[in-house]
Amino acid sequence: MVFDLGGYEGQWASDIFSRYCSTIHIFEPVADFAKRTEQRFRGNQKILVHDFGLTKADGSADISVNGTDSSLYKKGTELATSRFVEAIEFMHKNNIKKIDLMKINIEGGEYDLLEHLIATGFVHNIGNIQVQFHDFVPKAQQRMAMIQKNLQKTHSLTYQYVFVWENWRLK
């Protein structure tokens, strides 16, 4: 079971599927990107595309649309209203008990999501967390340090390129 948060057009998911033939849930809150990704994988029943993002609470917000840099935290000329779903509720409603790999590249939303997964305890059910922290979010350095401190309780850091990519493996 793989979660691809910030799926954009699905290339990362495609690469993972070609190597492991995993069941993959792609989360992409920009409707146009989600629609293209859904078309790309329409014949593959193991790749499920969700046209919303996962975060700490249900809601909607305007996202600045700028390709792979689309973000709630950056200003842009093109805005799209996007839907967000509380992560733990999604897990309960869809009977998700274990995730082998969760890739998180959600342009600033990683802080709220990871704080939520840690606070709810669901982080114990994720084998590997591959995350790209972004530095343009207020208090990014402090929030990242606190998340990393909390992840050390349940996971081991396997690699880290600060504000690029890092991976945490369940102990």
What CATH number does residue 17 fall under? 3.40.50.150
pLDDT at position 22, please?
97
pLDDT at position 45, please?
97
Q: How far apart are CA 81 and CA 95, in angstroms?
A: 28
pLDDT at position 11, please?
96
pLDDT at position 55, please?
95
pLDDT at position 69, please?
75
pLDDT at position 70, please?
66
pLDDT at position 76, please?
74
Bridging pattern class, strands 165-170 and 126-131: antiparallel
Q: How far apart are CA 64 and CA 28, in angstroms?
A: 13
pLDDT at position 71, please?
67
Q: What is the pLDDT along the chain (171 residues), one digit of tens a residue?
A: 999 999 999 999 999 999 999 999 999 999 999 999 999 999 999 999 999 999 999 999 888 777 777 667 777 778 888 899 999 999 999 999 999 999 999 988 999 999 999 999 999 999 999 999 999 999 999 999 999 999 999 999 999 999 999 999 999
Task: Count up the domains in the chain and report the number.
Answer: 1
Closest CA to 71 of 112, 36, 120: 112
- Strands of the sheet containing 47-50, edge to edge, are 47-50, 24-27, 2-5, 99-104, 126-131, 165-170, 155-161
Residue 149, domain extent: 2-170
pLDDT at position 91, please?
98
Closest CA to 36 of 10, 68, 62: 10
